């Protein structure tokens, strides 16, 4: 029992008493304490906001990919590696490189593979669309009739176009929800005619609200039979994407390899570097996105962490100033029996309390700022939510504690090492 009492007494003397003295000292120097805390507050707020933004963006993109289902395989046009350019996909296309080899016949051949349940082809165009006195620049989504059976998009009123309307190049369209509002307002658009470029198209349906997918606002599209858009509007024969659903998800990777082999044969490609298409399973896409956003998040946190480092240096400098100003107090406490350990823990506690207090305020401000930015984004039609995870708060508290200990230990040791006689003499 005596040993336990002695341990409790030593703990009280070494830890609790210096902690209480540290709090009293911080309350006495409120302005200095607040200025010292400010650096940590800014740093923690930045870290929390950046981490929540990164998590929100990652969750948004991964969620959009997951809407397609993990039983999907996407085939896209790709710029081949010709030795003159290494650009692929949109980067290469943006340079003016056109890939015209992916066709509807390719989609039909892929659909015959044993594990491919269904697929649809698509292209994207842009035209001036008008109804009465309303003229809008609109995005056109050319798709197979099977699009509505595979995609999560649903028809709200009317119907989607049929395979027969696609093959017969029928002039029919289905409106996205927001483009319908812009052209018709509250009026019923069914069986009305709109002008796409120079041709008239009959409205046969309106899609349900879908929101943005991969940063495309699906509600702003006008859906057109893919062959109608190819032949009558854009004057092309190719497509940019073939989206496939598989019957057995566990064989998705195997099926992707079969698609690659099939398209290489159809496109007369023997060198994989000359592939004019890319094949991606949704599982691969998820893995790629998670890796990318993990790296981006780490980079952003590292950048935000610089402000924490600056805050830590600020704490160390202020603590050194505090040691110099309180030389007499330190000497007097040592003269009446305070040990070097007592002094060390007092100044160390001051640094730790400052950083933890700053972390608390920073976490609160970070959460508030993240919530505010989410509200502003929502008001602008951007469905991006900032996600404040428990991990980010734990990291913030842990980093703050580490900063308090690391940057507080040097001035604390300087204070603990003062000779009481010299300290009292210098103060005079």
Q: What pLDDT does residue 12 have? A: 46
Q: What pLDDT does residue 304 have? A: 74
CA distance 232 to 83: 36
The rounded mean pLDDT for the chain is 81
Q: CB under 8 Å to 231, separation ≥6 — which residues?
A: 169
Q: Which helix (H) or strand (E) holds 99?
A: none
pTM listed for this prediction:
0.66
User: What residue has token string 């998040």?
Assistant: 297
The answer, yes or no, to whether residue 52 has pLDDT greater than 50, is yes
Confidence of residue 306 (pLDDT cuts 50, 70, 90): confident
The answer, yes or no, to whether residue 1 has pLDDT greater than 50, is no
> For residue 7, how many other CB atoms are within 10 A of its CB?
10
CA distance 318 to 410: 12
386 or 88: which leads in pLDDT? 386
The answer, yes or no, to whether residue 407 has pLDDT greater than 50, is yes
Confidence of residue 36 (pLDDT cuts 50, 70, 90): confident
Q: What pLDDT does residue 97 have? A: 59
**DSSP state string for 134-149:** EEEEEEEEEE-TTHHH
Q: What percent of the chain has pLDDT over 70?
A: 82
CA distance 46 to 220: 35
Could you tell me which residues are beta bridge partners of residue 5? none
* CA distances, 214 to each of 57, 62, 174, 376, 383 (Å): 11, 9, 21, 20, 12
Q: 64-93, pLDDT tens digit by residue?
A: 666 666 788 999 988 776 554 444 444 444
Poorest-confidence range of 56-70, 172-186, 275-289?
A: 56-70
Q: What pLDDT does residue 424 have? A: 65
317 or 137: which leads in pLDDT? 137
The answer, yes or no, to whether residue 7 has pLDDT greater than 50, is no
**DSSP state string for 298-339:** HHHHHHHHHHHHHHHHHHHHHHHHHHHHTHHHHHHHHHTT--
The answer, yes or no, to whether residue 125 has pLDDT greater than 80, is yes
Q: What pLDDT does residue 228 have? A: 95
């Amino acid at each position: 029992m005596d040993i336990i009492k002695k341990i409790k007494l030593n703990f009280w003397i070494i830890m609790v008493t210096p902690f209480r003295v540290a709090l009293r000292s911080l309350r006495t120097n409120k302005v200095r304490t607040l200025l010292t805390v400010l650096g940590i507050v800014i740093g923690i707020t930045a870290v929390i906001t950046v981490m929540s933004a990164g998590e929100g963006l990652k969750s948004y993109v991964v969620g959009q990919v997951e809407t397609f289902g993990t039983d999907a395989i996407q085939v896209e046009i790709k710029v081949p590696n010709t030795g003159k350019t290494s650009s692929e996909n949109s980067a290469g296309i943006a340079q003016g490189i056109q890939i015209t080899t992916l066709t509807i016949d390719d989609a039909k051949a892929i659909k015959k593979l044993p594990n491919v349940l269904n697929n649809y082809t698509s292209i994207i165009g842009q035209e001036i669309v008008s109804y009465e006195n309303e003229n809008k620049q609109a995005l056109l989504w050319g798709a197979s009739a099977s699009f509505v059976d595979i995609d999560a998009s649903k028809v709200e009123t009317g119907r989607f176009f049929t395979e027969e309307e696609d093959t017969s190049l029928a002039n029919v369209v289905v409106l996205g929800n927001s483009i319908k509002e812009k052209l018709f307002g509250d009026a019923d658009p069914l069986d009305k005619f709109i002008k796409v470029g120079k041709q008239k198209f009959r409205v046969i349906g309106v899609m349900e609200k879908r929101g943005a997918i991969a940063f495309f606002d699906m509600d702003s599209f006008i859906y057109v039979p893919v062959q109608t858009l190819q032949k009558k509007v854009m004057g092309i024969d190719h497509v940019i994407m073939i989206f496939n659903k598989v019957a057995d998800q566990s064989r998705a990777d195997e099926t992707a390899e079969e698609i690659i082999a099939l398209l290489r044969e159809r496109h007369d490609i023997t060198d994989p570097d000359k592939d004019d298409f890319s094949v991606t399973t949704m599982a691969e896409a998820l893995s790629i996105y998670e890796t990318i956003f993990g790296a981006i998040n780490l980079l952003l946190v590292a950048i935000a962490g610089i402000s924490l480092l600056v805050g830590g240096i600020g704490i160390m400098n202020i603590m050194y100033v505090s040691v110099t100003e309180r030389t007499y107090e330190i000497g007097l406490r040592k003269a009446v029996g305070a040990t070097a350990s007592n002094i060390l823990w007092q100044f160390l506690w001051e640094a730790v309390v400052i950083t933890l207090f700053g972390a608390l305020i920073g976490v609160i401000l970070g959460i508030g700022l993240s919530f505010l930015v989410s509200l502003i984004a929502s008001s602008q039609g951007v469905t991006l939510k900032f996600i404040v995870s428990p991990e980010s708060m734990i990291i913030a508290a842990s980093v703050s504690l580490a900063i308090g200990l690391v940057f507080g230990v040097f001035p604390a040791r300087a204070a603990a090492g003062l000779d009481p006689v010299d300290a009292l003499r210098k103060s005079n």
